[in-house]
């Protein structure tokens, strides 16, 4: 912890790379946790595909609306707040997230890079026109595009789809340039996002991992801080900047 805090204190350029574990303590389930309630019989990895949406747009739309409603009800936790604190202390900080929620923004992060899109940016599946997100209450059927009548899809990246090029380029660039990359609450299994910490490592940056469990990134990390993001990250930030 002391060594990690010292690296963070001295860094000029910092990347905070986050996954579903950062939002776990806000009550947003990670992908690999068992689905609950209404959705218990569906496998998340089978709903999050272009094929699933083509076969049944309303089913997939409804699942994302259920997830979006859970995010609307949730609040940022101490980990999201600590990430925004790092940005305040270090102007050269960029947040790169795999999360499709808006909890970083709501904790005060400036323009996090969303590698996997957002639950709040639906668009037409046919002509790609942006669609105003529905209100707070979930809508059960996929809306239709006013321009071409195709179903509207969630603005997230599905398995088998390319990441938004601009977001990926920016993430690789800041990882390449950083002195320290914090990888927090990500299993490091979903590529190409999982390359981001490796880019930092190969270009001489220090990699600090925060996760209660072992991940494939353990070996690549200079320090592994085992524990929950909402406990470990505020402690690290406190030590680095007080």
229 scored as a contact of ligand NAD (CB under 6 A): yes
* Residue with Cβ nearer Zn ion (17 or 61): 61
87 scored as a contact of ligand NAD (CB under 6 A): no
Q: Kindly name the residue from 89, 114, 116, 128 that is annotated as catalytic.
A: 116
Binding mask 8-37 for ligand NAD (x = CB under 6 A): -----------xxx-xxx--x-xxx-----
Binding mask 99-118 for ligand NAD (x = CB under 6 A): xxx--------------x--
Output the smallest distance, CB 144 to ligand NAD, in A: 26
* Residue with Cβ nearer ligand NAD (82 or 145): 82
| Residue 23 interaction partner, one of Zn ion, ligand NAD, none, beta carbon < 5-8 Å per kind | ligand NAD
Give the per-residue SS3 of the chain.
CHHHHHHHHHCCCEEEEECHHHHHCCCCCCCCCCCCHHHCCCCHHHHCCHHHHHHCHHHHHHHHHHHHHHHHHCCCCHHHHHHHHHHHHCCCEEEEECCCCCHHHHHCCCCCEECCECCCCCEECCCCCECCCCCCCCCCCCCECCCCCCEEECCECCCCCCCCHHHHHHHHHHHHHCCEEEEECCCCCCCCCCHHHHHHHHCCCEEEEECCCCCCCCCCCCEEECCCHHHHHHHHHHHHHC
189 scored as a contact of ligand NAD (CB under 6 A): yes
| Residue 209 interaction partner, one of ligand NAD, Zn ion, none, beta carbon < 5-8 Å per kind | none
104 is catalytic: no
Which residues in this chain contact ligand NAD in the complex, by CB under 6 A?
Answer: 19-21, 23-25, 28, 30-32, 98-101, 116, 185-187, 189-190, 211-213, 215, 228-229
Active-site positions read 116
């Amino acid at each position: 912890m002391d060594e990690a805090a010292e690296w963070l204190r001295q860094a000029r350029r910092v990347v905070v790379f986050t996954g579903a574990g950062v939002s776990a303590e806000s009550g947003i389930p990670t992908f690999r946790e068992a689905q609950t309630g209404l959705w218990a019989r569906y496998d998340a990895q089978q709903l999050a595909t272009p094929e699933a949406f083509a076969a049944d747009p309303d089913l997939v739309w409804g699942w994302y609306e259920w997830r979006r409603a859970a995010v609307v009800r949730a609040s940022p936790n101490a980990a999201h707040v600590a990430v925004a604190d790092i940005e305040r202390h270090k102007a050269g900080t960029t947040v790169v997230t795999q999360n499709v929620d808006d909890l970083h923004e709501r904790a005060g992060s400036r323009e996090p890079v969303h590698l996997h899109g957002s639950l709040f940016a639906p668009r037409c599946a046919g002509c790609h026109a942006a669609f105003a997100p529905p209100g707070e209450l979930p809508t059960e059927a996929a809306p239709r595009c006013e321009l071409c009548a195709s179903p509207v899809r969630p603005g997230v990246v599905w398995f088998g789809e390319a990441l938004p090029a601009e977001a990926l380029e920016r993430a690789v660039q800041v990882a390449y340039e950083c002195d320290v990359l914090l990888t927090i609450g990500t299993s490091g299994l979903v590529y190409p996002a999982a390359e981001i910490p490796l880019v930092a490592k190969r270009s001489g940056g220090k990699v600090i991992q925060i996760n209660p469990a072992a991940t494939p990134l353990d070996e690549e990390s200079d320090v592994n801080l085992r524990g929950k993001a909402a406990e470990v990250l505020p402690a690290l930030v406190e030590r680095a900047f007080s």
